Structure formats: C-alpha cells, structure tokens
Amino acid sequence: MLRSMYSGIAGMKNFQQKLDVISNNIANVNTQGFKKGRPTFQDMMSQQTGAAAGAEGNRGGVNAKQIGLGSELGSIDTVDTQGSLQNTGRELDLAISGSGYFKLENPQGGENLYTRSGNFYLDNGGNIVNADGHYLLNAGDGRINIDANAQSFSIDSAGNINVVGQNGNTNGAGQIGLATFNNPGGLEKVGGNIFRASLNSGVANDVAPGAGGAGEIVSGSLEMSNVDLSEEFTEMITAQRGFQANTRGITTADEVLQELLNIKR
C-alpha cells in the first residue's frame, strides 16, 4: 500500500510543477519576446518482482514483472517558436521575423546577453539601449551610437541604420548584429526578457540580419509572447484533474490501510 501512496505523492508534485510553469506562461502572455515553457514527465524506476526468461526447451519466454514507482519531471523545455508581430510605428521598436537574438552588452562584462524583446531607446549619449540600460551591439560587438544632431534615422530589414544629418545627407551608423544558436532551447532565462548562453545552447554564431539562417529585422514592430491562452487553460485543466486523480489514489490507499488495521477489532 505504501508504494501506491508514494506514487501518488510523486504525481502530485509533478502536476504542481506543471501548474507553476503554466501560471508563469499565463503571467507573461503580454511580455514582449517571451518564450513559453513546457514541462514533460517520465516514469521513475520500476521494482522488479520477477525476472524475464527466454524460451527454453518446451517452455516459452516469460516477460519481467515490474511495478512502477511513480513519475518524475523529465524536462522543462523552452518552446522557441515565433511570436506574432505587433505594429507600433515607433522606429526603435524592433522585431525579428525568423531566427536569432539581439545581442546586448553584459553590464558586468564577460559574455554577451541575448533577447527577443526589441523595445529599444536612446540614452543621453546617443547609444541604443534596452529598458534596463544594456547596450545594443552591432555585428562586431560594438555599441551603436546615433548623432544627437541627426534630423532622423531609419533601420532597414538588414539592420542597417541610416541617419539623416543636419545638412540633409544620409550616413550609415552601423549595422545591428544578431546571434543564432545550434540549440536555442538551451538558453538560460535570467529575467528582464534576457537569455544567457549555456553549455547546451552552444556558442553564439554572430550573423547579420537576413543572413546565415537569421531572420530579418522589422522596424516599428514588437514580437509578442508565443503563449496561447486557450492551450494554457486546457493544460491547466489537465494538470488540475491529474492532481485530483493522484490525491484520490492516496485516499484509496489510506482507506485500504485503515481496513487492514480494523481486522484485529
């Protein structure tokens, strides 16, 4: 009886973690560039009560007798699919249509950081930064600066920044760089719509927008979250029912134990 109770406890913990992931997805349904999580389960080790045996003489083979001991969390995947693009009309709102990530300068130094959230701004020095002040980097990992005296500027699909000066002449201010990864699902979320490369994501491949398998830049738009509310609510119901079913299994096992205790009476 104790095996069934512990199997039920393991199932309850798993569905609780699934609900945690689903709740986080729903909380970020309007977060620009957010990539939803997806939990997967796997069965735990099984107790073998009888070994398998092959065919021998006049006797056929016998399968092993195994009793499962519950389930465990297999993985929490980052689903790296394209989110829908929302038109804003603001020049420094940038979206990536396709693969790739914007490169940001890590304020603590060291490796670069990466994001799909393209709401950028100009600081008082004319540098393009994100909402937390991280510098947007060009193809050569340098900062991108726009002259404060410029009349206007535009960004094309290849990430080229064209600036119109006071004299009306157009000059280039560099090209926005992107990074791609062999396994983008292996990137680590560090908060603030930012990802960090991990041992399993692979190193960043520095590419230009529209080249090397990277997507193009869409100026005046933002990529929204790839969370589908209808799917999340369906998964929430499934997790809730699974949790309830495991609690019912524990209750049933407890009732059987109670009957055993009452035999002596």
What pLDDT was estimated at residue 1? 61
pLDDT tens digits, 123-181: 988 899 999 989 999 988 899 998 888 888 889 999 999 988 777 787 878 899 999 99
Pairing of strands 160-164, 170-175: antiparallel
Residues 213 and 93 in one domain: yes
Residue 58 lies in a domain: no
Give the separation between CA 152 and CA 147, rounded to whole angstroms.
10
Residues 213 and 192 in one domain: yes
Residue 234 lies in a domain: yes
Residues 108 and 192 in one domain: yes
Mean pLDDT for 13-34 is 94
- For residue 29, the tally of other CB atoms under 10 A from its CB is 15
Mean pLDDT for 221-239 is 95
pLDDT tens digits, 69-100: 888 889 999 999 999 999 999 999 999 999 99
Residues 198 and 164 in one domain: yes
Calculate what percentage of the chain has a pLDDT beyond 90.
58
Total domain count for the chain? Answer: 2
What's the domain range around 262?
Answer: 1-19+227-265
Give the separation between CA 85 and CA 89, rounded to whole angstroms.
12
Q: 265 falls in which pLDDT band (50, 70, 90)?
A: low
Calculate what percentage of the chain has a pLDDT beyond 70.
99
Residues 239 and 205 in one domain: no
Residue 108 lies in a domain: yes
Residue 45 lies in a domain: no
Give the separation between CA 224 and CA 98, rounded to whole angstroms.
13
Residue 110 lies in a domain: yes
Residues 91 and 158 in one domain: yes
pLDDT at 206 over 90: yes
Residue 253 lies in a domain: yes
Residues 219 and 92 in one domain: yes
More confidently predicted of 88 and 264: 88
Give the separation between CA 206 and CA 187, rounded to whole angstroms.
16
Residues 158 and 108 in one domain: yes
Pairing of strands 170-175, 178-180: unpaired
Residues 172 and 234 in one domain: no
Residue 2 lies in a domain: yes
Q: Nearest Cα to 137, choosing from 186, 207, 81?
A: 207
Residues 251 and 205 in one domain: no
Residues 143 and 252 in one domain: no
Residue 28 lies in a domain: no
Mean pLDDT for 225-250 is 93
pLDDT at 45 over 80: no
Residues 213 and 99 in one domain: yes
Contact 253/1 with Cβ under 8 angstroms? yes
